[in-house]
Amino acid sequence: MPDTSALATAAPAARSSPRLSRAAPFVVAGLAAVALWIAPLALDTFAVNVLTRSMIYAMLAVTVDLLWGFAGVLTFGQAAFFGVGAYAAAMALTYLGADPVWMVAALGLAVLAPAVLGLAVGWLSFYHRSTALYASVISLVVPIVVVQLIYSGGEWTGSSSGLVGFDVLPLELEGFFRLAALALVALTLAAWIFVRSDAGRALVAVRDNDARCAYLGLSPKRIQIALTTALAGVAGLAGFLFANASSVVAPENAGFLFGTELVIWVALGGRGTLLGPILGTIAIDYLAANLSGDLPFLWQLLLGATFVAVIILLPGGLADLARRAWGATPFSGRAAFAPALAALPARPAPDASGAPLLKIEGLAKSYGALTVLENIDLEIRAGELVSLVGPNGAGKTTLMRCLSDGTEDFRGQVSIGGASTAGLTPNRIVALGVGRKFQVASVFESLSVADCLLLARASNDGLSPFGRAETLALPQAALDVMRMTGLDQMLALPTRLLSHGQKQALELAMVVALEPRLILLDEPTAGLTKAERSTIGAVLKTLTGELGIAAVLVEHDLDFVRQISSRIVVLHQGRLVLDGGVDEVVGSELVRTIYSGGSHG
């Protein structure tokens, strides 16, 4: 590990001027606000008018970027929320008037109505086992439905002609420009702080690996629904500004085509960068206003062709080009952030003599006519380290899945600490005190080592939406895993650069950081070196022996199993065929027969 020391010294360097770097976004935002405040003095009427619209659209681009660029939800639906906000404002102003009281009501309605719709859309789009594609499908349907509702609203919504001539905020052209500019700057600043905060890591984590999120006790679906709802409200606010600034709303404002335009702008500007989509939207919309009159078809053609080329060749958009150019300059050496580690006080060891922690009664599972598990009864108490062995296809991994996901379709009963897991999603089973380590290391590839651990603590400690915690407190056992594997020296390193063994160790540290009562491990030593293997063995012995955690371990390596287990359970063709002490099982005739093809049979 040659670059460890360099990173270790880089991390404290980043902390040396936290105040300066924390103030920077506010200073930049302040300067941007001032510059935009004076801009109308230098711009002609046409530019002021068009740029007002462009800046409102840029607010939408921010919402699309948060959803797509950060949280990985490709959405065409922001147009619908924008349209609902704009129509809510326009209808309120048309039928109630523009007195200050009604103006405030219009504003409230313009934010609330889309947020409620966003909540419904989020609930529909995100559920346990929903796919990213399904959310995109729903985001296509929503604008189509909203537009048809507008069409069929008759005089109430103005149907295809839209609504015009309602009273608006008493501002001149320049006033609307400044209002839009302030709203855009404020939104950008808030989004900027949010995505750089600890809570912002959760968005990226959901995008990277929503299964891992769930098995850390976070509800990825709830995060996605909350984000959809909040950003629908923001889109509605943009709609309110649009209705006021243009005093026209039309069905196109809510349509699917506008939704695709937003995605095009964000993609060209550079998804996941916030500033890229904002500048991209303003530049493209302004150019469009200037060029589409003279070159209507050619302009669309150029835009379409550029879009295709950028998606294929430059997925990071134009912001990526800028970043690469910046990376080539000598000023670019900004160190990655990493918090200092600290130890959490140890929890008192649970009473090892009491009722079984995990109780499985008559568990059975089949896929159609194929029976994978049959009649499994098993009890595991605190402090036990139970190894689950058996040849490939014996049903070991399936059993682990049934234990950690109550929505799996199985028969029989699983209870943890007396509570049945029936129907519980993985994150709720984690809340019962279960930690699961997967067979293939499951971490967050675009986050750093420290961020992965931060998220593992999130269900206990929460995440700040405003900034980054300076210290990260972990249970001693997790710290031990980190120290023994050298990961504590790589906190700022992106996990995708870790070796296979390091990723396995990191995932183990994450699971241990949850402070589970029961830990499920699926071949934690697969593909590891002998040294790494004995490290993990030592950690498991400490966890079970000293801290009283129960562990279920799926393992092929009988030598390893013999060294660390307190009990061994043999699974063969979906049945539990042996359950006993280490020597009893390892020495049995049955195990020798099953494993006659060698230990990896």
Partner 1 sequence: MLLILDVLTTAGILFVVSIGLLAVFGVLKIINFAHGAWLTIGAYCAVIAAELGLNPWAALPLAFVIGAALGGLAELFIIRPLYRRPLDAILATWGLGIVIGQLITLGFGRDVQMTPNLFSGTVEILGVDYSAYRLVALGAALVIGVVFAAAMEGTRLGLSARAVIMNETLARGLGIDTVRVRLVTFMAGAGLAALAGVLLTPLTSVDPNMGVGWLIGAFMLVMVADASLVALAVACLVFGAAQVLISTFVSPILGSIAIAVLAALVLRVSPKGFSRA
Partner 2 sequence: MLAFTKEYIGKIGGKVVGEEYLPMDGSDWTAIISKLKDSKADALITSTAGGAPNVTLTKQLRGAGVSLPYANLAVDEGTAKSMGADAEGIYLSASYVTGIDSPENKTFLAAMEKKFGSGLKTPNDLSVPQYEAVYLYKAAVEKAGGTETAKVLEALPQVSVTGPRGVIKMDKQHHAALTMYLGQVQGDGSVKVVGTFKDVDPGEQCPKLK
Residues at the site binding partner 1, with contacts judged by CB under 8 A? 74, 124, 127, 129-134, 136-138, 140-141, 144-145, 148, 151-152, 256, 260, 263-264, 267, 297-298, 300-301, 303-305, 307-308, 311-312, 315
The residue type at 189 = L
Closest C-alpha among 5, 3, 71, 18 to residue 471: 18
For partner 2, the closer CB: 151 or 326: 151
Kindly give the interhelix angle for 220-246 and 45-64, rounded to the nearest 10 degrees.
170
Closest C-alpha among 26, 22, 23 to residue 189: 26
Among residues 17, 160, 420, 499, the one that binds partner 2 under rule CB under 8 A: 160
Residue 497 near which of partner 1, partner 2, none (CB within 5-8 Å, type-dependent): none
Does 529 engage in binding with partner 2 (CB under 8 A)? no
Does 45 engage in binding with partner 2 (CB under 8 A)? no
Closest C-alpha among 349, 396, 369 to residue 571: 396
The nearest distance, CB 228 to partner 1, in angstroms, is 15
Binding flags for partner 2, 104-143, as an x/- string (CB under 8 A): ----------------------------------------
Token representation of residue 536: 């993990």
The nearest distance, CB 25 to partner 2, in angstroms, is 43
If phi > 0 it is left, if psi is from -120 to 50 it is alpha, else beta; for residue 255 that is beta
- CA 599 vs CA 206, 439, 543, 561: distances in Å: 37, 18, 26, 11
User: In what helix (H) or strand (E) does residue 385 lie, and over which residues does it extend?
Assistant: strand 385-389
Binding flags for partner 2, 221-260, as an x/- string (CB under 8 A): ------------------------------x---------
Token representation of residue 178: 């400044």
For partner 2, the closer CB: 46 or 151: 151
Does 152 engage in binding with partner 2 (CB under 8 A)? yes
Residue 21 near which of partner 2, partner 1, none (CB within 5-8 Å, type-dependent): none
Does 26 engage in binding with partner 2 (CB under 8 A)? no
The residues, any chain, with a CB within 8 Å of residue 370's CB and separated by 6 or more, are none
Instruction: Evaluate whether 517 touches 357 at the Cβ level (below 8 Å).
Output: yes
Q: Which stretch binds partner 2 (CB under 8 A): 26-34, 78-86, 146-154, 532-540?
A: 146-154
The nearest distance, CB 118 to partner 1, in angstroms, is 16
Centroid of chain to Cα 377: 37
The residues, any chain, with a CB within 8 Å of residue 374's CB and separated by 6 or more, are 364, 574, 575
Residue 173 near which of partner 2, partner 1, none (CB within 5-8 Å, type-dependent): none
Token representation of residue 256: 């699917």
The nearest distance, CB 121 to partner 1, in angstroms, is 10
Residue 160 near which of partner 2, partner 1, none (CB within 5-8 Å, type-dependent): partner 2
Q: Which stretch binds partner 2 (CB under 8 A): 102-110, 127-135, 144-152, 200-208?
A: 144-152
Among residues 148, 300, 420, 599, the one that binds partner 2 under rule CB under 8 A: 148
For partner 1, the closer CB: 300 or 499: 300
Residue 312 near which of partner 1, partner 2, none (CB within 5-8 Å, type-dependent): partner 1
The nearest distance, CB 152 to partner 2, in angstroms, is 8
Other beta carbons within 10 Å of 194: 18
Other beta carbons within 10 Å of 130: 16
Residue 370 near which of partner 2, partner 1, none (CB within 5-8 Å, type-dependent): none
> Which residues in the 401-440 window bind partner 2 by CB under 8 A?
none
What SS3 class is residue 466?
Answer: coil
Does 9 engage in binding with partner 2 (CB under 8 A)? no
DSSP state of 394: S
Helical spans, DSSP H, in 197-291: 198-208, 210-214, 220-246, 256-269, 275-291
Token representation of residue 128: 């346990």
For partner 2, the closer CB: 123 or 151: 151
CA triple 407-413-416, angle to 5 deg: 85
Residues forming the site for partner 2 (CB under 8 A): 148, 151-152, 160, 251
